[in-house]
Structure 1
Amino acid sequence: MKLEVVVIPVADVDRAKGFYKALGWREDADFATGDDFRVVQLTPPGSACSIIFGTRVTAAEPGSAQGLYLIVKDIEAARAELVDRGAEVSEVFHDAGGVFPHAGTEGRASGPAPGHKSYGSFASFSDPDGNGWLLQEITTRLPGR
């Protein structure tokens, strides 16, 4: 099995589409069947998994998707690119306990993980509706991944 699509709840389809396209995400589809149903699919660069949002695509509240991960090889370069493309991205951080980031900003320590330990460095941003994304730096994958 492979994860193919994640549904993102948004309030304004065109605003969301503009935001993600400005980040450099590929538009795969934009289909409407009248004024009451529309689906937009975009894919982050290098990803096999896409996002979908639209009109009457989900009953979830706009902005309720949280903890969506984008994996990067270089956290500073990825953060800089998103900032250059107009996203408001947090500073790079790591979990103070050295394991995994907590919800919200609890337990965040400034800067990358010591030695840029793989899986340990993060940055966060939200789309215009408040759907929350995390960049996670992975330089060496765990065995079996």
Structure 2
Amino acid sequence: MTTPIFGSVLTVAVPVTDQDAAKALFESLGLKTTFDRELQPGFRWLELSLPGGATTLSLVKSGSELPAGIDTGVRLATPDARAAHATLTELGLAVGELLAWETAPLMFSFRDPDGNRFYVTETGAR
């Protein structure tokens, strides 16, 4: 058996055009800012985490080499997909259809104001 090289996913970077606006949105969704500093002139590193979560979401400034409007591949867990769907809709975000398949948990996707796509999946029993 080979010894693993990696132990966990530390952070996932998502490009955004306005770090302050993105920070405010994700804080309103329950994430907490854990790091926010300008590491060098013009380069701000901003990380947020969910309660009890080890992996952070880093909101990095978009640019020509790192455009916003991507499919992040980020899957967020929620105990109540219907309530999450309603909340994100009320916030005016582009929210996809709530998928209620018999063979899978409730799930949907949404896009942040920059067009970045995130996925939401209900955890626990239905």
The TM-score range, normalised by the shorter chain, is 0.7 to 0.9
Return the alpha-carbon distance in structure 2 between the equivalents of residues 58 and 6 of structure 1.
19
Given the alignment, which residue of 79, 95, 98 partners 1:73?
Answer: 79
Deviations 1:40-81 (A, max 9, x none): 101134432111123479942112243210122322133234
Count of aligned pairs: 119
TM-score with structure 2 length normalisation?
0.76
Inter-CA distance 46–124: structure 2 relative to 1 (3 Å threshold): farther
Asked whether 1:132 is paired with 2:120, we answer: no
Inter-CA distance 136–59: structure 2 relative to 1 (3 Å threshold): same
TM-score with structure 1 length normalisation?
0.67
Which secondary structure does the structure 2 equivalent of 1:8 belong to?
A: strand
How far the C-alpha of 1:4 sits from its partner, in A, is 1.7
Return the alpha-carbon distance in structure 1 between the equivalents of residues 14 and 60 of structure 2.
8
Unmatched 5+ residue regions in structure 1? Answer: 94-111, 141-145
Q: Which letter does structure 2 place at the counterpart of 1:92?
A: L
Instruction: Report runs of 4+ in structure 1 exceeding 6 Å deviation.
Output: none
Inter-CA distance 56–67: structure 2 relative to 1 (3 Å threshold): closer
RMSD: 2.6
Assess if the C-alpha contact under 8 Å between 1:4 and 1:48 holds in 2. yes
